[in-house]
Amino acid sequence: PVIGKLPVAKVNTALVMKVLQPIWTTKTETASRVRGRIESILGWAAVSGYRTGENPARWRDHLDNLLPKRSKVAKVEHHPALPYAETGAFIKQLRTQAGVASLALEFTILTATRTGEVIGAGWEEFDLPGKTWTIPPERMKAGREHRVPLCDRALAILAELEQLGGEYVFPGIKPKKPLSNMAMLTLLKRMERGDLTVHGMRSTFRDW
């Protein structure tokens, strides 16, 4: 809203600060990414002949003199993770839960993937004979294609879901819509495991 409609040549340090200051201490990670993206766009604009002069969004020897370092304002928050030794018992409890959300959560754990990658999965991404799931770049946080090997249990979950039909592997309640991004978290709370997060399961996988 601050600079979105301005010509790139009009963007200066004061405007960049107007974008960043309100969120720098409260949403530091987001603010840092926004700064980096503004710098990239203005850098492209400069080499393409749309603006001249120094990049007002650069950090070193510029914004680092105006904003506190991230390390001083941002505390790293780790997602609560299930201790690896407790995984077997948790999966046993999880399998007593009915519904698509429980299958989605188990599949997420088995593939060490993110919530968005799982609920947005379409059948065209899967090579079931080859036991492989290929997530396209546009659905990956890193923006690169990601190939996931599928164990027998993951394949069994897919076989069960295939009978439901539909565009999405993990369908939601509404027609032609995927499972809600809150469904697995809600399931954890229903299982009285509000101490855990879906993302924390990736940490459990890394521990293993």
- What is the model's pTM? 0.65
CA nearest to 120, candidates 94, 138, 106, 102: 138
Q: What is the pLDDT of the chain when averaged over all its residues?
A: 92
- From residue 5, alpha-carbon distances to 43, 77, 92, 107 in Å are 18, 34, 54, 43
Whether the per-residue pLDDT at 76 is higher than 60: the answer is no
What mean pLDDT do residues 88-93 have? 95
pLDDT for the residue numbered 130: 97
Q: What is the pLDDT confidence band of residue 77, given thresholds at 50, 70 and 90?
A: low
Q: Is 80 left (phi over 0), alpha (psi -120 to 50) or beta?
A: beta
Q: Is 13 exposed, middle or buried (0-12, 13-18, 19+ CB in 10 A)?
A: middle
pLDDT for the residue numbered 174: 86
- From residue 8, alpha-carbon distances to 12, 45, 49, 170 in Å are 9, 7, 10, 42
Q: For 107-158, what is each residue's pLDDT tens digit? A: 999 999 999 999 999 999 999 999 999 999 999 988 899 999 999 999 999 9
Q: What is the pLDDT confidence band of residue 176, given thresholds at 50, 70 and 90?
A: confident
Cβ pair 106, 94 in contact under 8 A: yes
**Residue 75 and residue 61: Cα distance in Å, rounded?**
24
Percent of the chain at pLDDT > 70 equals 97
**Residue 99 and residue 96: Cα distance in Å, rounded?**
10
**Residue 10 and residue 75: Cα distance in Å, rounded?**
34
